[in-house]
C-alpha cells in the first residue's frame, strides 16, 4: 500500500515517517494488514533527504489542488495522514493565508482521498484550539462544544466537520486526532502561540534562558511527541464502526504549568547533575490573550477506550527528548 504524509518535512511528519518505516504495514481499505511499499512526503520544504528507497519527497504547496492530487495519486490502496498546517501565531497575523493553507489545503487533501474511489483511511491532525470561549469546560471532552477563538482553531474545527461528513457519505474513512500541545520540539522556537511550552523545557536543558511569555501558573494540556506518533498510528488502526457518528478524538494529556515544568526540570537536573538555564518572565499580552482562549485541561477517556496510549509521566517525556535529541 501507499501512505501519504502532508507536512512530511516537519517534526511530527518526519517522526511519523520513521515510525511507519519501522512498522512496515498498516490496515488497508480491505480491512486487512497491508505492506507499506511507498511513503510520499508532501511539504513546502525539506531540511534533509531520506535515504530509504520507500520514501519519496515532494516539495509543494497544499493549497494548490494539482500538487495534492499528483502526490496522492490514484491507487485505492492508499492511506493519508494530513499534518500540514500553518501554526497558531501565523494564522492570527495572516488570515487569508490561513484560509488558503489550512482550509483550502485541507479540502484539497480530502477531495484527493475521495477521488480514490475506495475507503481510504484519512487521519487528520486537529488541535485543542478547536475549543474556546465561554462554553469551555474543565476538563474539555469530545462532547464539549467547538467554539474556537482563534483563526487557527477555526480552520481545524471546519476540517474536523469535513472529515465527519466525508466519512458519513462514504467518500473515505476519516478520523481526526485532536492534539494537545506537543512537547518537546527540538530546534528553534516557531510562530506557534504554544511555542513556549517546548521552550520552557528545551532552552533550560541546553543551559540557555527561556523567555516565558505567559503566567507561571498558566495551565495547559501537553503530551509527548512519541505518544502523539503512536496515537496517530493507533487511530488509523481503529475499526471504523467503533467511532459512531463523531470521528474526532481528543488525545489524553497532562495538565502542565510553567511552575510544574520548572520543578520537574530541577528534579531531573539533580538526578543527572545537569546545569539548567533559567526560565525568565517575559510577559507577552498577545500570546497570553491567545492562550487564554485555549483549554486548561482535556479528558482523553474516549481515546483510551479506543486503544490509544496515555502519555508517560512528564519527567519521562523530558528523558525521551534528551535521549532522542541531546545524546551525551
Residues belonging to the active site: 152
Name 250's bridge partners.
178
91 touches 155 (CB < 8 A): yes
Residue 24: exposure state from Cβ atoms within 10 A (0-12, 13-18, ≥19):
exposed
Residues 6+ apart with CB under 8 A from 268: 274, 315, 318, 319
Q: Give the 3-state secondary structure of residue 33.
A: strand
Helices 314-325, 195-205: crossing angle, 10 deg rounding? 70
For 312, phi then psi, to 5°, come to -75, 175
Q: Hey, what's the cell of 80?
A: 493519508
Distance CA 138, CA 154 (A): 20
212 touches 282 (CB < 8 A): yes
Distances (CA, A) of 170 to 26, 55, 67, 116, 260: 20, 29, 24, 12, 45
Helices 258-272, 314-325: crossing angle, 10 deg rounding? 60
Neighbour tally for 183: CB within 10 Å = 28
Q: Give the 3-state secondary structure of residue 68.
A: helix
Amino acid at each position: 500500500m501507499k501512505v501519504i504524509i502532508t507536512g512530511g518535512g516537519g517534526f511530527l511528519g518526519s517522526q511519523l515517517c520513521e515510525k511507519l518505516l519501522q512498522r512496515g504495514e498498516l490496515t488497508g481499505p480491505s480491512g486487512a494488514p497491508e505492506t507499506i511499499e511507498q511513503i510520499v512526503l508532501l511539504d513546502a520544504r525539506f531540511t534533509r533527504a531520506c535515504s530509504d528507497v520507500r520514501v519519496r519527497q515532494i516539495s509543494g504547496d497544499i493549497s494548490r489542488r494539482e500538487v495534492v492530487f499528483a502526490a496522492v495519486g490514484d491507487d485505492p490502496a492508499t492511506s493519508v495522514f494530513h499534518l500540514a498546517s500553518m501554526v497558531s501565531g501565523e494564522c492570527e497575523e495572516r488570515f487569508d493565508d490561513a484560509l488558503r493553507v489550512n482550509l483550502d489545503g485541507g479540502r484539497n487533501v480530502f477531495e484527493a482521498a475521495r477521488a480514490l474511489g475506495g475507503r481510504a483511511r484519512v487521519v487528520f491532525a486537529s488541535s485543542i484550539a478547536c475549543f474556546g470561549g465561554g462554553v469551555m469546560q474543565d476538563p474539555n471532552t469530545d462532547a464539549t462544544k467547538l467554539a474556537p477563538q482563534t483563526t487557527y482553531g477555526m480552520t481545524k474545527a471546519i476540517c474536523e466537520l469535513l472529515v465527519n461528513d466525508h466519512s458519513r457519505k462514504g467518500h473515505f474513512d476519516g478520523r481526526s486526532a485532536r492534539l494537545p500541545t506537543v512537547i518537546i520540539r527540538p530546534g528553534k522556537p516557531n510562530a506557534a502561540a504554544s511555542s513556549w511550552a517546548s521552550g520552557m523545557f528545551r532552552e533550560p536543558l541546553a543551559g540557555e534562558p527561556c523567555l516565558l511569555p505567559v503566567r507561571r501558573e498558566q495551565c495547559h494540556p501537553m503530551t509527548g511527541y512519541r505518544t502523539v506518533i503512536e496515537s496517530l498510528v493507533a487511530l488509523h488502526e481503529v475499526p471504523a464502526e467503533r467511532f459512531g457518528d463523531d470521528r474526532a478524538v481528543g488525545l489524553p494529556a497532562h495538565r502542565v504549568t510553567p511552575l510544574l515544568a520548572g520543578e520537574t526540570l530541577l528534579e531531573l537536573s539533580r538526578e543527572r547533575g545537569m546545569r539548567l538555564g533559567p526560565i525568565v518572565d517575559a510577559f507577552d499580552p498577545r500570546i497570553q490573550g491567545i492562550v487564554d482562549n485555549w483549554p486548561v485541561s482535556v479528558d482523553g477517556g474516549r481515546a483510551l477506550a479506543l486503544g490509544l496510549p496515555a502519555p508517560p509521566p512528564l519527567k519521562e517525556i523530558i528523558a525521551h527528548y534528551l535521549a532522542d535529541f541531546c545524546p551525551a
